[in-house]
Amino acid sequence: MGKNDDKKVCMKTFIESLRCTESHYCRSDSPHRVYLPCDLNIKKLWNVYNEQAEPDQKVKQCYFRKYFNRKYNVGFGTPQTDLCSTCLQYKEKIRRCTDPKEKQSFITNHRVHTLQAKSFFAFLKQNSDEVVNISFDCQKNLPLPKLPDQQAYFSMQINFFNFGVVIGSSKSPLTKENVRCYTWTEVERPKSSNEIASAIHHTLSTYEFKATNKIIRLFCDGCGGQNKKSIFIGMLCNWFNSNAPPNIEEIQVFFPVVGHSFMPPDRVFGNIEKVVRRTAEILEPSHYVNMIKDRATVFKMGVDFQVFDWKTEIKKTLKPTTQWHFKFKPAKRFVLTKNKLGTVLVRGEALYRSDLGQAKGICRKGKRIEAVRPKTLQVGLRIKEDKIKSISNLLKTHYGDEWKSNEALDYFKNIFDSNVENNFERQVDADENEIISDEEINI
Ligand SMILES: [Zn+2]
């Protein structure tokens, strides 16, 4: 084996030991691209590599950069700011294509794609007394602890989740009154359809709709899971039937064009991430909460809102999506209305602007949406041993063997100590994919 092959093996081992973040959760526009923390870059990575490498395995920066870019589909920082990969692919196809007929079809398809994206945002921009716009999205997971140590990049961490809800159009100013952030950590619960549905249900149930409001428009994140979509629609049907003010006549749900889903909550997240980047040490969830509090009304899981098992109840009540009266998967817009008897009907549309579908009920025979009474789920989970070990090691390196006597680290001391007593197991969804994961994965 040549000298360079040896170096390559070392770089490979090093890079593959990094802990990456999947591109923004469920965004399937670039499924194989993964991301490193935004405060890391190739130069820093090269430094870390050389620090740990044996003298004869050290490499020059340009060599490392070349190897890294050629072999790995890894980016840095916030994936949301990336250009739409569908658009990029079309542009490339149009540029390369030599057959005029084929070229024209690429041009047309790309145009349809961008027009769809434009109409999504046109709806989000609208503002009137009759319509209430609500958009929501998950911020990328924030790590606990956040330390300036290089080692923190390689350690497991506890994920802090922030689910942002903005009430108003994309032109509305962002204030604490119309921005809500639902926060929790993976110690409390995972980030799956039940948590998201419960947070939105909480917003709908506590927001004071005006008497002039007739239509609610919900703009969802890029979260594509069909399962999640149906649980969400089911929750909405239940709220519409049982809890909505009588002046609400219609609920419209918009799912964005993949790759074009930058929404009002992302502006809030961007501001929060700026503060996070400037902060060297973050050692407990309340530090994140304090940063968010300046920009939003914060609702803490288990304290300000509860999590309900919508998933189990909705699955029992609604027909499987394959038996709905329209094609569920391509539907980008769902319209919920009521018939004269007050029964909720659902219409699914593949386009934002053309109403082609029929409104019908989606419940199983003999089931009624108003009968759905989801159980409250317990907040508080057990953390896996390997995660505790990894975080303990990180804290030891940074604060010394006696880290537990450091008051600033009480958060970790307390959850590690109580983890043993905590005797109920993590209730992982049967379908692992259900957990909305921009959880760390290995490359
Ligand atoms: Zn695009």
- Ligand 1 centroid, distance to 308 Cα (angstroms): 35
pLDDT in tens, 370-392: 999 999 999 987 888 889 999 99
Return the structure tokens found at 134. 């609500």
pLDDT in tens, 19-41: 665 444 333 344 455 667 666 77
Given this model, what pLDDT does residue 382 score? 80
- CB neighbourhood size of 322 (10 A): 9
Given this model, what pLDDT does residue 71 score? 78
Is beta strand 376-377 parallel, antiparallel or unpaired with respect to 131-138? unpaired
- Ligand 1 centroid, distance to 338 Cα (angstroms): 35
Mean pLDDT (the chain, rounded): 86
- Ligand 1 centroid, distance to 10 Cα (angstroms): 38
- Residue 20 forms beta bridges with which residues? 441
Candidate from 15-24, 388-397, 410-419 with smallest mean pLDDT: 15-24
- Ligand 1 centroid, distance to 260 Cα (angstroms): 6
| 305-315 as b/e: b if 16+ CB within 10 A | bebbbbbebbe
- Ligand 1 centroid, distance to 265 Cα (angstroms): 20
- Ligand 1 centroid, distance to 79 Cα (angstroms): 14
Given this model, what pLDDT does residue 33 score? 59
Long-range contacts of 387-396 (CB under 8 A, 24+ apart): 387/156, 387/158, 388/416, 388/419, 390/155, 390/156, 391/145, 391/155, 391/156, 391/157, 391/158, 391/416, 392/416, 393/155, 394/145, 394/147, 394/149, 394/151, 394/152, 394/155, 395/145
Q: How much is the average pLDDT of 153-170? A: 91
pTM across the whole model = 0.80
- Ligand 1 centroid, distance to 92 Cα (angstroms): 12
Q: How much is the average pLDDT of 391-408? A: 94
Given this model, what pLDDT does residue 348 score? 97
